[in-house]
Structure 1
Amino acid sequence: MSNRLSSLKRFLPVPPPRKVAILSPSHFFVRAVPVTEGAAAAEVAGQVELALEVAAPFPLAQLYYGHHWKPGALHALVFAAYRKRFTVEEVENWSDAEIVLPSFATVLKDSPQPATALLLSAPDSLTGIYYGDASGVPTQVRVAPIPAEATEAERVALRDALLRSFAGTLHVIDLVGPPEFDPASDEGEFTFRAGDFSAHFDAEEIASFDVRDKADLAARRRAQVRDLILWRTFVGCAAAIALAAFLELALVGAAFWQKQRLAVVERQAPVVEAVMTSQSLATRIDELSSKRLMPFEMLALLNSKRPHAIQFMRTVTSGLLTLEIEAQTSSSGDIDVFRTALNQLPECAKAEVQDQRSRDGVSTFRLVVTFKADAFKPEENPS
């Protein structure tokens, strides 16, 4: 079945290329907010929204926001942007994107050792991500804009200033170039690359990074589930139709083959009948030439076991090995004795008593005796 589905997919429309929207970090303000110890992911999402309502200068309805948290961490990284920072065209362009997230969120995969600063450079900005503990969730994220006319010396000075803002930095990781989505990522998974660095996320890990309106995201996920069910139903129906068509063709082929076979049998029937007749005739001739009926020997053998009270009235042969005898006796008990004695003979295959009747003290019956094939070997003619 899987081979048929693979063959079927070749004729289905090619899906459009995957799309991910990576936003400039300069649009976002970022905070690390505490969360309850042992909280689940859904509880953390609620606590993040409460923290944003307190800390953000705008209501939640006017923000695009997301967060990053790992199980066991005592804080979450929250990032939010004022909606009016984005044009209508930009927002409309998000409608067919699988995920919309700030550029720095694309590298929040690994858990560096404490006091590590990760620097993400772009043509117009330098983003510093600082890990103050071993939770794997950054404690600080700072974005420094870079003027278009900045010299290399000014860029180096900006980098040093950004590192000094993270007090106690012991390790620095420089990422060259802005992160980009790898379109070769497996379906439902996301891989981002920045130079030699790569970060791989599954759909569940990256879902909280999406900054779009949460109600729209919920509706989008419901639509995706519905579309997936419809797609699988369509593929299943298409496979069933293909299988039904294959079976129909197989039935047509089988009917044609059966018709051809019966025609051959019908044409060969007279030949087969002639061959069978010849074989039967040859067998009969062979029996007549090599075997002969031996009724006297049969009677002699039966007489050797016949009680004196039993009289043979009529005998007839049936084939070469069967003798039928009509007999009578004045002692009905001798009938069973006679039959038992015959069945014990090594030359006798079977002896049966049939149609036994009694009248005026005389019992009549029919005795059918079948002899073994080698019971009577004819004497060879002297040469």
Structure 2
Amino acid sequence: MQSQAGLYIHIPFCQRKCEYCDFYSITRLEEMEAFVEALLTEIRLRAPEFAGVRFATVFFGGGTPSLLGEAQLERIWAALHRHFDIDPGGEFTLEANPGTLTPEKLRFLKSLGLNRLSLGVQSFHEHELAFLGRIHTVEEVIANVGHAREAGFDNINLDLMTAFPGITEASFRSSLARAVALQPEHLSCYTLIFEPGTVLYKRMRRGEVQPLSEEEEARYYNIARQVLEGEGYEQYEISNFARGKAHVCRHNLIYWTHAPYLGLGPSAHSFFRHQRLANRRSLTAYINLLRRGELPVEFVETLSAEQLQFEYIFLRLRLREGIDLEDYRRRFGRELPQQYAGILHRLQEQQLVQLTDRTLRLTDRGWLLADAVATWF
């Protein structure tokens, strides 16, 4: 039995689309019920292929999953447990926008069985939230965390955005301090990316806004590391910090350790049995195909041995612990230090990696250049 698989459910609805967001989401909330019916069908159709697989994590992402009504969430949750083997001791996360939560909704989510809450805070300054297009206020964040604690959530993540136009060192340090004051178990700090096709990217092309330089991005990244590590958070992945190993995001570790996962919902991706597949990035197509009893698959790709090795290296190097050389040998039948001897020598000369008898990991400098380092392999 595969005991470390992850289950991701993409809920594609938002009250308003953030200008920087590249994830598939729509504002046609009147289609939520039709989506739920289609999702229930996809769950049923996918289940036979995953017989014998135990899912250690369930993650509701989006979009804004907290927009779903209680009855809709109950039906989805029941269907997941009816058709899949869900580990009773698993990690069950729901992403939420602080502007969509009430004390009653939080109590319901906890009673349903969700045990981890991830709040898209981004900033603790109203003018920065307005620039980013967020619908919530700082007061709502503070209130939501308090109400989540009262509802029984003891594993809360806060997302913070770093290095975007208009941010200052003072405002960022203030956001970090206010986040830490709420005592979340986990913090994620992401640099704003101007993704092609987004409103923010178009504004950049028109010269209305400009991204920060790489040097400035690195400076804010280092501020986050210094502040959060000083407050007792362990940086276990490039963008993620946890209060001890008990609170690392188990679902994201499935991605980073190249373990299998199933994605449900429009635009969701899966990785299973050396295959990567993606669902259609259209709610209309998703619903229509499932109404006909067809899976809404956009593409299926069988990864070569070389692709699997590259992905494993790329993902594992994001982790503080890096690559376990023995695990690499078991998976691929090769000795990584010999396979990439010349590359590793050059990376060591540039102080980008550390190689021991057991592990290969990025240095602090290497973490700043992680994507570039990965292209060497």
Shared fold (TM-score greater than 0.5)? no
Instruction: Choose 1 or 2 for highest CA Rg.
Output: 1
Range into which the TM-score falls when normalised by the shorter chain: under 0.3
Q: Which structure has the highest strand share of the two?
A: 1
When the two structures are superposed, what TM-score results if normalisation uses the length of structure 1? 0.20
